[in-house]
Amino acid sequence: MYRGPGESKDEIPVLDFDLNVQIKGVYLRKIVVGFLIGIALASPHITAAISNNQLSREAKIAVSVVSLLSSLLVGLLASFNLKRDM
């Protein structure tokens, strides 16, 4: 601790330290990045399902929804750096 001129040496010693902390909207940015990653991951599967003429309309919708939801989940996990223990 730095004591300037004129300060008493008889004071109780104090340990001062600063924490370099920034508070900002990190969660919103990570969510947006996660959604963008998820959409990028899901787009080839959705395109393949929609362009497949052998699938019924309901099957195309089901494949698209499942692909989008699972890819969004993976994108959010990737953006929040969540790791699974092995």
b or e along 28-50 (b: 16 or more beta carbons within 10 Å of the residue's beta carbon)?
eeeeeebeebbeebbeebbeebe
- Asked whether the predicted pLDDT for residue 82 surpasses 80, the reply is no
pLDDT of residue 56: 94
pLDDT of residue 26: 76
pLDDT of residue 15: 67
